[in-house]
Amino acid sequence: MNDMFLKMGHRGAMGYVAENTMEAVQLALELGVDGVEVDVHVCGSGELVVFHDFTLDRMTNGSGEISKWTLSDLKQLKVDSAFYIPTLEEILNLVGDKYLVNIELKCKSTALKTCEVIQEFVKTKYWNYSNFLVSSFQHGELEQVFRIDKAIPLGVLTEANLIEAIAFAETINAWSIHPNYTLLTSENVKYAQAKGYKVIAWTVNEMTTIKRMKQYGVDGIISDKPDIL
């Protein structure tokens, strides 16, 4: 991972194309991002699938919990009437190793499988660990990743309390803190950075707010419209 300001596409580029799809990620790359943020769940047959909600109803023609569906059944569904639910591996193969992939662990039991996928890409496809950033609100999942493989960069998500996030980050040697942008001030960004953490703000879609975040000196922004970063 480099020291430049990171332009990150949220769920691909969800301001323009259905979130967490191959097409949304492809567009983000074309719009000039440094990386993409995607959400993962474990589905009923054990694979990691890229999807935001715990249930299928809002984004697909299926219904109920994604954790109850097998991958082959999920692949029959349409996202936003036109797209498909990708696996994490499909997204990684699309993105390639010139970008940062921020994998957000949405639910419990995602840590082990995510570590296995990352290790597989490092060993067999010669990706660097620095191509990955695993973030979560689920502290237990981040702790598990930390136990399994200390080389995987970790990010602590918060929408409530930056200080608590930093305190937890210290216990897992996290690389970054990912606060909702509304929590940030010039002072607390500097405080987090002085503690040794990158600050990645989400989800910032307005030009005036983007400008303010940059004035605060954040290290990266996750946006639905990454072309305006």
The encoded tokens of residue 32 equal: 């000039």
Q: What CA–CA distance (Å, rounded) separates 63 from 59? A: 9
Q: What CA–CA distance (Å, rounded) separates 195 from 190? A: 9
Q: Which residues pair with 102 in a beta bridge?
A: 37, 133
User: From the list 21, 43, 202, 223, which residue makes contact with ligand G3P (rule: CB under 6 A)?
Assistant: 202
141 binds, among Ca ion, ligand G3P, none (CB under 5 to 8 A by kind): none
Is 139 assigned a catalytic role?
A: no
User: From the list 23, 34, 47, 104, which residue makes contact with ligand G3P (rule: CB under 6 A)?
Assistant: 104
Q: Which residues pair with 177 in a beta bridge?
A: 156, 199
Is 41 assigned a catalytic role?
A: no
114 binds, among Ca ion, ligand G3P, none (CB under 5 to 8 A by kind): none
DSSP 86: P
Q: What CA–CA distance (Å, rounded) separates 88 from 46? A: 12
Instruction: Please say which residue, 105 or 162, places its beta carbon nearer to Ca ion.
Output: 105
User: From the list 222, 223, 224, 229, which residue makes contact with ligand G3P (rule: CB under 6 A)?
Assistant: 222
CB 205 within 8 A of CB 224: yes
Phi, psi of 90 (to 5 degrees): -60, -40
| Distinct helix (H) and strand (E) counts, the chain | 8, 9
Residue 135 interacting with ligand G3P (CB under 6 A): yes
Closest contact distance (angstroms) between CB of 200 and ligand G3P is: 8
Instruction: Please say which residue, 34 or 104, places its beta carbon nearer to ligand G3P.
Output: 104
Instruction: Please say which residue, 124 or 223, places its beta carbon nearer to ligand G3P.
Output: 223
User: From the list 41, 178, 198, 225, which residue makes contact with ligand G3P (rule: CB under 6 A)?
Assistant: 178
**Catalytic residue set:** 10, 52
